Amino acid sequence: MIRNLGARKLSRTGAHRRAMFSNMATSLLLHEKVETTLIKAKELRRVVERVIADAKNGRRVEVRRVIKEKAVYQKVFEVLAPRYKERPGGCTRILKLGARRGDATETALVKLV
């Protein structure tokens, strides 16, 4: 039996997940770091790596499906894609920060390398 082939559902509908990761990816690409839970950070890494790879290959429509904000969209193609042009992957780094005080959830900082 093959398991764990898809992404984590995070107790959200598909539309909610897409919107949440679109917003988080926009924030990460704009500020180049974002603090979130560890599980969301691991899923966000998949989204952002895909956006940067599509930008490096000039796939504007695929990037536009995730990044809705005009300033971030321009930054991806003008700043980030040339920065990571020679890098084959691994443009993000996840740093564990420890447990959150309110609910003891493991938190992490996602940064662009």
Q: Interior CA angle at 47 toward 14 and 13, to 5°?
A: 10
Confirm whether 42 is domain-assigned. Answer: yes
**Full-model pTM:** 0.92
Q: What pLDDT score does 5 carry?
A: 82
Q: Which tens digit of pLDDT belongs to each residue from 74-86? A: 999 999 999 999 9
Q: Give the contacts of 84 (CB within 8 A, at least 6 positions apart).
A: 52, 56, 91
Number of domains in the chain: 1
- Backbone φ and ψ of 39, nearest 5°: -65, -45
Length of the chain, in residues = 113
pLDDT confidence tier of residue 2, bands split at 50, 70 and 90: confident
Residue 97's domain is classified under what CATH number? 3.90.1030.10
Measured over the CA atoms of residue 16, residue 46, residue 101 and residue 113, the dihedral's sign is negative
Confirm whether 4 is domain-assigned. Answer: no
Confirm whether 3 is domain-assigned. Answer: no
Confirm whether 95 is domain-assigned. Answer: yes
Give residue 36's domain range.
14-112
Q: Which tens digit of pLDDT belongs to each residue from 52-77? A: 999 999 999 999 999 999 999 999 99
Rounded to whole angstroms, the Cα distance separating 61 from 57 reads: 11
